[in-house]
Amino acid sequence: MNKTSLITGILTLALSMSATAGPRDRYQDSAKVIDVEPVYRTVEITEPERHCWDEEVTHYQPREHGYTGTVLGGIIGGVVANSVSRGRGRGKDAATLAGTLLGGAIGHDLSHQKRGGGHYSTSYERRCETTHQTHYEEQLAGYDVTYRYRGRVFTTFTKQHPGERIPVRVSVRPIHDH
């Protein structure tokens, strides 16, 4: 083994030992709890509320219209046009066809007029709406804790109730005079 390798090995070992074996300036202990006061905070809470009701609704129901008026108007129009037209052949056929179409259109229009042609009906429909209700609530935020450690009194805030003793971290450091 050469001298450089030996020195490198010793230095590596010394550095690793100094990193793990340093002074212990912190440790954990426990202190006596002498007072615990709950701390509350006011919290705003908004919750949706759904309200539903049955509402009366009136609808107009038109009379059902069939094809009777249209067909009847077409027949009457065709008969009238056929009997009124003079001539024979295609002229008379064209007049009959025109009368049938015109009579059908008039019959259709008359049968679809709303005069007395329907009724009103009432039914109930479900209606709903969502509103948001806001209220305020006191919620436990944590605890103000007073504790004694080695004759001195300290206070802290904790989220959990500490019980009779509270863990503390103690740090010891030398005082340097300059």
Tens of pLDDT, residue by residue over 128-161, are 999 999 999 999 999 999 999 999 999 999 999 9
Position 142 scores a pLDDT of 97
- Give me the sign of the Cα torsion angle 106, 109, 113, 116: positive
Whether the CB-CB separation of 148 and 166 falls below 8 Å is answered with no
Single-letter amino acid, residue 14: A
Q: How far apart are CA 137 and CA 48, in angstroms?
A: 16
Q: Are 77 and 106 in contact (CB under 8 A)?
A: yes
Percentage, residues of the chain above pLDDT 70: 65
- pLDDT tens for 21-74 read 345 688 999 999 999 999 999 999 999 999 999 999 988 877 666 666 667 766
Angstrom distance (rounded) from CA 24 to CA 28: 11
pTM here?
Answer: 0.41
pLDDT at 5: 55
pLDDT tops 50 at residue 15: no
Written in H, E and C, the secondary structure of the chain is CCHHHHHHHHHHHHHHHHHHCCCCCEEEEEEEEEEEEEEEEEEEEEEEEEEEEEEEEEEEEECCCCCHHHHHHHHHHHHHHHHHCCCCCHHHHHHHHHHHHHHHHHHHHHHCCCCCCEEEEEEEEEEEEEEEEEEEEEEEEEEEEEEEECCEEEEEEECCCCCCEEEEEEECCCCCCC
Dist. CA 138–CA 44, nearest whole Å: 9
